[in-house]
Amino acid sequence: MYRIGIAEDDIKIASLIKSGLEEHDYSVETFPDGITALQAFLEEEFDLIILDVMMPGMNGMEICRRLRKVNTDVPVMLLTALGTVDDKVAGLETGADDYLAKPFHFRELLARISALLRRKKSSEPKKATKLSFEDIELDLDSKTVQRSGTDIRLTAKEFVLLELFLRNTNKLLSRQYIAENAWDINFDTGTNVIDVYVNFLRNKIDKGFERKLIHTKIGMGYIMK
């Protein structure tokens, strides 16, 4: 399931886009202002970002400009009522991949999102079969895990969860992101299944080792660092 972040200060428009995309099986998070959006985009993992150009705090072009200093891979689409050629050129020069003028047909938005995600996927290098961080190693082919040369036996779910952490080291992962990417389910705020499995994994890869790798950010999620 692809995760899309939307920065849009118009609550009605943001809600409509979010609902429409979720009906097409996208995971969507919306942010009402530029500063909040940029912080989330820098700290969390998104497959695609949609930015309204005119927003309080920080406009979409400035968000894109700052984001591109640290992340050149995530596709970025700008949405705006400013539709002149000069406006489009200015937006693309900030590092955006696409520019869609308001008002727009939702079908066109879907088509452009699909095209950006296909382009991103085709440009991604083949995933490594072995992942490592500090003294922990995971082999995707043999389904084995070692820490400091010691074999660690994990259940299938624990293995998938560890793989997710290893592919996102030093990044804060929300419970919703973990649920959707390790379990491919919508996050139910009424359950603690994510916390339970993270604790299972932590007991196996951290217990008995001086350096702890999985850390809790209270109220926010987990990070491997």
Coil, helix or strand for 142? coil
Spatial distance between the Cα atoms of 42 and 66, rounded to a whole number of angstroms: 9
Confidence band, pLDDT 50/70/90 cuts, at residue 119 = confident
Q: Would you state the pLDDT for residue 88?
A: 75
Residues 6+ apart with CB under 8 A from 126: none
Share the mean pLDDT of the chain.
87
Rounded mean pLDDT of 112-126? 79
Q: What is the pLDDT of residues 177-221, one digit of tens each?
A: 888 777 655 555 556 778 888 999 999 999 888 899 999 998 889
Spatial distance between the Cα atoms of 59 and 52, rounded to a whole number of angstroms: 7
Closest CA to 168 of 177, 179, 156: 177
Q: What percent of the chain has pLDDT over 70?
A: 92
Q: State both tokens at 113.
A: 């999102």
- Whether the predicted pLDDT of 82 surpasses 90: no
The answer to whether 38 and 66 are in contact (CB under 8 A) is yes
Closest CA to 140 of 120, 170, 121, 166: 166
φ, ψ of residue 224 to 5 degrees: the values are -100, 120
Range scoring the smallest mean pLDDT among 35-44, 64-73, 89-98: 89-98
Q: What is the pLDDT of residues 122-180, one digit of tens each?
A: 766 656 688 999 999 999 888 899 999 999 998 888 888 999 999 999 999 998 888 87
Q: Would you state the pLDDT for residue 141?
A: 85
The answer to whether 55 and 8 are in contact (CB under 8 A) is yes
Q: Would you state the pLDDT for residue 124?
A: 64
Spatial distance between the Cα atoms of 167 and 223, rounded to a whole number of angstroms: 11
